[in-house]
């Protein structure tokens, strides 16, 4: 395999260092840059034109899905592997639709990183085993008849904003700061949203939001 020039994008220094430690000893991999947010990774991709990008999804300024879409449109030859802690199939679908060639969880082992790189660089798609198993489970757990009967619950503009922030992994305090409202107001909205949608977890909330086009990464 020729030298693979790699750009790593993540807003956590620990993750950046961890990926670097995994890949640096392998001679055919060369890390040519790092980015801490979506805007920065787009700029560095255009400047450095790497062969491959490890792309975190939840980053400030611009999320990884938006950055992937921009880079894929401008430089389609660059391979992008989503790197995240999200196991939900909705995130996987959005990344692949935006142009990513692979999807890895941040807790993946060294062998999976290498397998993912080799797969996407040879023109194939790659999903970590844990993600593949989750998507298969989602397919068999979904009853098309029941899904068609689901009714969309009316949500206010503010409630939809808060759902998007939750999907971006912002804490209640971060949401409050971002929307210029009090922490108590965010907590009240969040409680009302969960009750209104009859969901008990963030995973179920995100699944509902994706199915009803509340979360829009385009």
Longest dimension (CA), the chain: 55
Greater confidence (78 vs 209) lies with: 78
* Across 125-143, average pLDDT: 70
HEC string of 63-96 equals CHHHHHHHHHHHCCCCEEEEEECCCCHHHHHHHH
Q: Please, where in the chain does CATH 3.40.50.2300 lie?
A: 4-139
HEC string of 2-46 equals CCEEEEEECCCHHHHHHHHHHHCCCCCEEEEEEECCHHHHHHHHH
pLDDT, tens digit, 9 for 90 and up, residues 60-77: 888 898 999 999 999 999
Distances from the Cα of 198 to the Cαs of 17, 138, 192, 201, in angstroms?
A: 40, 19, 10, 10
Phi first, then psi, for residue 58 (nearest 5°) are -90, 90
d(CA 44, CA 19): 18
At 137 the pLDDT is 64
Q: Please, where in the chain does CATH 1.10.10.10 lie?
A: 146-211
* Across 4-32, average pLDDT: 93
Q: For residue 152, give the DSSP letter.
A: P
**Given pLDDT bands bounded at 50, 70 and 90, which one contains residue 148?**
very low
d(CA 67, CA 78): 12
Task: Say if residue 34's pLDDT is above 60.
Answer: yes
Distance spanning both ends of the chain, measured CA to CA:
34
**Given pLDDT bands bounded at 50, 70 and 90, which one contains residue 203?**
confident
* Across 79-102, average pLDDT: 85
CB-based contacts of 113, cutoff 8 Å, min separation 6: 19, 22, 23, 104
At 135 the pLDDT is 66
4-139 CATH choice from 2.40.30.10, 3.40.50.2300, 3.20.20.70, 2.40.50.100: 3.40.50.2300
At 75 the pLDDT is 97
CATH number listed for the domain at residues 146-211: 1.10.10.10
At 149 the pLDDT is 43
Greater confidence (32 vs 63) lies with: 32
* pTM, full prediction: 0.66
d(CA 119, CA 168): 28
Mean pLDDT, the chain, whole residue set: 85
| Low-confidence winner among 10-24, 40-54, 125-139, 152-166 (lowest mean pLDDT) | 125-139
Residues recorded for the chain: 218
At 60 the pLDDT is 84
Greater confidence (91 vs 118) lies with: 118
d(CA 97, CA 70): 12
Q: What 3-state DSSP class applies to 114? A: helix
Task: Say if residue 36's pLDDT is above 80.
Answer: yes
At 125 the pLDDT is 92
Q: What 3-state DSSP class applies to 210? A: helix
């Amino acid at each position: 395999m020729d030298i693979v020039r790699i750009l790593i994008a993540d807003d956590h220094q620990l993750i950046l260092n961890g990926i670097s430690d995994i890949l640096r000893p392998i001679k055919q991999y060369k890390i040519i840059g790092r980015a801490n947010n979506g805007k920065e990774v787009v700029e560095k991709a255009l400047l450095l034109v790497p062969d491959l990008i490890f792309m975190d999804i939840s980053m400030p300024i611009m999320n990884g899905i938006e950055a992937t879409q921009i880079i894929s449109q401008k430089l389609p030859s660059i391979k992008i592997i989503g790197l995240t802690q999200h196991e939900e199939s909705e995130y996987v679908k959005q990344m692949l639709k935006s142009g990513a060639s692979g999807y890895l969880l941040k807790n993946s082992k060294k062998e999976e990183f290498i397998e993912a790189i080799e797969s996407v660089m040879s023109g194939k798609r790659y999903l970590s085993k844990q993600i593949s198993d989750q998507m298969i489970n989602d397919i068999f757990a979904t009853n098309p008849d029941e899904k068609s009967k689901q009714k969309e619950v009316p949500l206010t503009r503010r409630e939809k904003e808060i759902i998007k922030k939750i999907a971006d992994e912002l804490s209640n305090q971060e949401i409050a700061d971002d929307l210029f409202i009090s922490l108590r107001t965010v907590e009240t909205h969040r409680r009302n949203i969960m009750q209104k949608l009859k969901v008990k977890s963030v995973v179920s909330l995100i699944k509902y939001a994706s199915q009803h086009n509340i979360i829009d990464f385009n």
